[in-house]
């Protein structure tokens, strides 16, 4: 009998699984009657109410409730917490709401199409602004910069070129500073994805020009991707500025009458501000290298040193894809 008890105790010890405080537990369902402690903070409820009236420091709100709360606040035309904050925190160090001025130039006898622009903040708040013919005025985009601006559409207006421009700091209309500038012929796909936008206010401008008013000759569409692999160098290209560590795909309508397309790349040194965004473009102080690929084939590598004129390049047409890598030159 004693032997049986000893064997029973040993069997129980060997077949028992001990769970310690730092162990991982995997289960299909976990039922908690009262509260759950997460790193010393007690949670006793999950809030699914989009008004957030029952939210507290002891509850977790679902992403669906938070998203619905933000969207309801953004669509409220009356003064709300978001719109009032953008007016009162102008003197604070916190990023405030971005102002977006939408302007569609009126052309007599022509009905312009509408475009949807998505503004995605770095903390994942999405604001959609729609341009309409004749629409002017400021809109607000909320969230933490930098923003990514997206737009997908098709230029459907026959007989007209569509010009889509974005400017920053709209205080000098004679010499505007571009965020991006595009031209599209009828039937062109409009695909815009512009990352790294940190300006406090920008202007979106849609305008048109008759094809007959353009220089005679063929126009071709060139897909370009600029990949900036540098640490602190911004590169200006086609009225765009691609910041360090970012890449941008640009589709552009170009004039191909002479069979050669010429373009330049404008590098400049930038610094990070207190809000972890880039600013203060200065002359280059270190060397960079441009690696050019056309239609998937390496076509050349060019080194650019400080105090040199901006490098100019040319592409023999037809070319459908152009990829440009920008790298820091390492001193051996």
Per-residue pLDDT for 204 more than 70? yes
Q: Is 92-213 a domain of CATH 3.80.10?
A: no
| Domain spans in the chain, listed from the N-terminal domain onward | 44-50+58-88, 92-213, 215-332
| Alpha carbon distance 68, 4 (integer Å) | 64
Which tokens in the block code for residue 288? 């960079």
Per-residue pLDDT for 84 more than 70? no
| Alpha carbon distance 332, 319 (integer Å) | 36
| Alpha carbon distance 19, 332 (integer Å) | 54
Q: How many residues are there in the chain?
A: 332
Whole-number Cα distances in Å, 175 to 104, 170, 181, 239, 283: 19, 9, 14, 12, 20
Full-model pTM = 0.56
**DSSP H or E run through 315:** strand 312-316
Q: Could you give the percent of the chain with pLDDT greater than 70? A: 70
10 Å CB burial of residue 284 (0-12, 13-18, 19+) is buried
pLDDT one-digit tens code per residue, 116-132: 899 998 888 898 888 87
Per-residue pLDDT for 178 more than 80? no
């Amino acid at each position: 009998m004693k032997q049986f008890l000893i064997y029973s105790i040993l069997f129980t010890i060997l077949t028992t699984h001990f769970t310690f405080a730092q162990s991982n537990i995997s289960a299909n369902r976990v039922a908690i009657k009262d509260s759950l402690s997460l790193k010393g903070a007690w949670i006793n409820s999950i809030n699914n109410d989009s008004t957030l009236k029952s939210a507290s420091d002891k509850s977790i709100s679902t992403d669906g409730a938070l998203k619905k709360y933000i969207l309801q606040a953004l669509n409220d035309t009356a003064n709300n917490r978001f719109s009032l904050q953008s007016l009162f925190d102008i003197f604070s160090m916190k990023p405030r709401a971005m102002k977006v001025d939408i302007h569609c130039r009126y052309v007599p006898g022509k009905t312009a199409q509408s475009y949807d622009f998505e503004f995605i903040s770095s903390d994942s708040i999405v604001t959609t602004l729609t341009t309409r013919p004749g629409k002017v005025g400021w809109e607000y985009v909320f969230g933490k910069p930098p923003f990514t601006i997206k737009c997908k559409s098709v230029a459907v207006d026959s007989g007209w070129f569509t010009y889509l421009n974005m400017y920053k700091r709209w205080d000098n209309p004679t010499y505007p500073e571009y965020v991006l500038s595009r031209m599209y012929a009828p039937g062109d796909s409009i695909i815009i994805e512009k990352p790294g936008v940190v300006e406090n206010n920008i202007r979106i401008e849609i305008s048109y020009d008759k094809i007959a008013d353009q220089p005679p000759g063929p126009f071709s569409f060139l897909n370009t991707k600029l990949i900036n692999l540098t640490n602190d160098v911004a590169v200006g290209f086609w009225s765009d500025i691609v910041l360090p560590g970012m890449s941008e795909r640009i589709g552009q309508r170009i004039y191909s009458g002479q069979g050669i397309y010429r373009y330049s790349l404008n590098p400049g040194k930038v610094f990070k501000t207190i809000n972890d965004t880039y600013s203060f473009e200065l002359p280059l102080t270190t060397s960079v290298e441009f690696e050019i690929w056309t239609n998937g084939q390496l076509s050349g590598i060019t080194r650019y040193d400080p105090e040199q004129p901006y490098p100019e390049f040319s592409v023999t047409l037809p070319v459908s894809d152009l990829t440009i890598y920008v790298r820091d030159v390492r001193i051996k």
